[in-house]
Structure 1
Amino acid sequence: MGSTFSQYIDSWYAQFHVHLIHVATRWGYGEEESRDLVQQFFLELLQKNVTPTVVQHPRTYLTRAFTHKLIDHYRRTKAVLHKASLMETSSYEPSVLENLVRIQSNEELLASVRAAYNRLPARCQKVIHLKYYEGLTTEQISARTGLNTRTVYNNLYEGIRLLREEMKRAHPGLNFAAFFSLLPLL
């Protein structure tokens, strides 16, 4: 049986290896890698004890089995690349110069935010301070300042609008959510 099975595999290889290489290249593999994958596929097929007489349509059988091999190969390769990228990013440590530049740019950004905040009307500053520094709700701010809740809301809205305009002018690429994360640092 061993020699007969081997003869079937040899025959299938002779008939279909070009077709399977074409299948692999359509999946995006290079010519050389496709040839390697086809050869590896037939070697693995030899190791399996498939009864060749059961396979009625060898081209269909081989194409489907090879496609499954390509999918498995892609998944393994993707997993390995993902692990490698995780290792690269987790082991990255910025240089001293990069840290200094980041700190300096953050200090410049904080100074810009402070300046914009200081240019706000006093009521807006007070309401923003109570909201973002002390974490009070609109109702709590209203109770503490004696302003009605609608006035508190309007002052918050006006202050945020003015800060947003000022920061868009000074730092056009700044994400406004990132800007709000800076407010407590002032």
Structure 2
Amino acid sequence: MTLTIPISRFRRLLFAILQAIAPARASAAAHAQLSQLYDRWGTAVFRAAYAYLHNKSDAEDVLQDTFLQYMRTSPELESPAHEKAWLLRVAINLSKNKLNSAWFKRTDTLEESYPCADLDSDLAFVWDAVRALPSKYREPIHLFYHEGYSTAEIARILGQKESTVRSLLHRGRSMLKETLKEAYDFDE
């Protein structure tokens, strides 16, 4: 499953919002930059938000808010990797804020499967198990296995020591192994 908002519709929506909040920045160059950013990092930002929120529409909201935050602040970033890390950090923070909001705590979410166009549907049970992990283990596992970050890069993104990230990955893998072993009775 991929993002449900068609890319062109999503870009138009973001650009319309950008025009409303900052008309001076809503130029053709800003539109091109937004399109390029979305093409490059939209799926990664969506997956990070979905990993937290477990709800497609909330993850789409965070995706939109992340790109709007980028356009509002216009951060000076050193490289495409730094750009991706900044976007993921903002998406994670926005997701945490949404989870901590009083409105979100009073609502029930609809269960959805993990949206990964890249993965076989046979592996959906693994991502369901990852989704069930506490967030302190889920974050590094998502960034390591889904986004392909090294432990040093994850440490910078999460603001933790590299050894802490390695420990969290190890413990998270152990928890997944036990969960999958119990639930699916895999042999060693």
**Which structure shows the bigger proportion of residues in helix conformation?**
1
TM-score by length of 1: 0.34
Which entry has the higher C-alpha Rg, 1 or 2? 1
**Larger RCO (CA under 8 A, 6+ residues apart):** 2
